[in-house]
């Protein structure tokens, strides 16, 4: 049984649970994926399986050679294999590996917000709204540290590019796994926008 799968975020909706309470869920088209390559400890230094997902019209010659036996795929991602877990090239992976109640880690790319100031990017309060401060409402304030250390620390929170970064949310509960429709419903939100690529792996502390 595989510990991960590649999927595409379809969007969010709501579902009513058996107790009548509403639950916000994210719908993910998970798989089916195909094992394109298997990496071993002896040859590669670690154990992993490379999964292929989606179709592609154009491929580079190296990608064609790699996928000659299994077909062309738009996305390729690796998942680590546990000791004793075996997979073969050409093996199919679908959502039947998951069931309701499982805890998963979901990795995706957050929505890009472009250049943003410190108020939007980091939640700064901004400057005073009175006492003659007419143009400091959303300013970061002083970034220096006086005579000691006499420089600006690395990593200081400032204005810059917001979003568009790899984000992982952990211990997300699986609400429903529908193998017939390749559909996975998970509680809450996951990184990225609609049709964004996500990698779903079973949490180490999951069921």
User: What's the pLDDT at 41?
Assistant: 87
Concatenating the DSSP letter of every residue in 54-83 gives S--S---HHHHHHTTTT---SEEEEEE--T
Report percent pLDDT > 90 for the chain: 45
User: What's the pLDDT at 205?
Assistant: 65
User: In the CATH scheme, what is the code of domain 4-107+164-202?
Assistant: 2.40.30.10
At 111-165, the pLDDT tens digits run: 999 999 999 999 999 998 888 888 889 999 888 878 888 889 999 999 999 999 9
- In 3-state terms, what secondary structure has residue 33? strand
Every domain of the chain and the residues it spans:
4-107+164-202, 113-162
At 71-107, the pLDDT tens digits run: 678 888 888 887 777 888 888 888 988 999 899 999 9
Taking the whole predicted model, whether its pTM rises above 0.75 is answered as yes
């Amino acid at each position: 049984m595989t510990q991960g799968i590649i999927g595409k975020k379809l969007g969010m909706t709501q579902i009513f649970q058996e107790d009548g309470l509403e639950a916000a869920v994210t719908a993910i088209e998970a798989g089916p994926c195909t094992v394109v390559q298997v990496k071993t400890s002896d040859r590669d230094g670690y154990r992993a399986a490379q999964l292929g997902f989606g179709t592609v019209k154009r491929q580079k010659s190296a990608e064609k050679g790699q996928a000659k036996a299994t077909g062309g795929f738009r996305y390729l991602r690796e998942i680590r294999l546990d000791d004793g877990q075996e997979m073969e090239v050409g093996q199919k992976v679908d959502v039947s590996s998951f069931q309701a109640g499982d805890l998963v880690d979901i990795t995706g790319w957050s929505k890009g917000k472009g250049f943003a100031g410190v108020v939007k990017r980091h939640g700064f309060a901004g400057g005073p709204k009175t006492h003659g401060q007419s143009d400091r409402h959303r300013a970061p304030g002083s970034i220096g540290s006086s005579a000691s250390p006499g420089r600006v620390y690395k990593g200081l929170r400032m204005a810059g590019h917001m979003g568009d970064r790899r984000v992982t949310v952990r211990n997300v509960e699986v609400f429903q796994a529908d193998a017939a429709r390749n559909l996975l419903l998970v509680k809450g939100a996951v990184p990225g926008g609609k049709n964004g690529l996500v990698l779903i792996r079973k949490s180490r502390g999951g069921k």
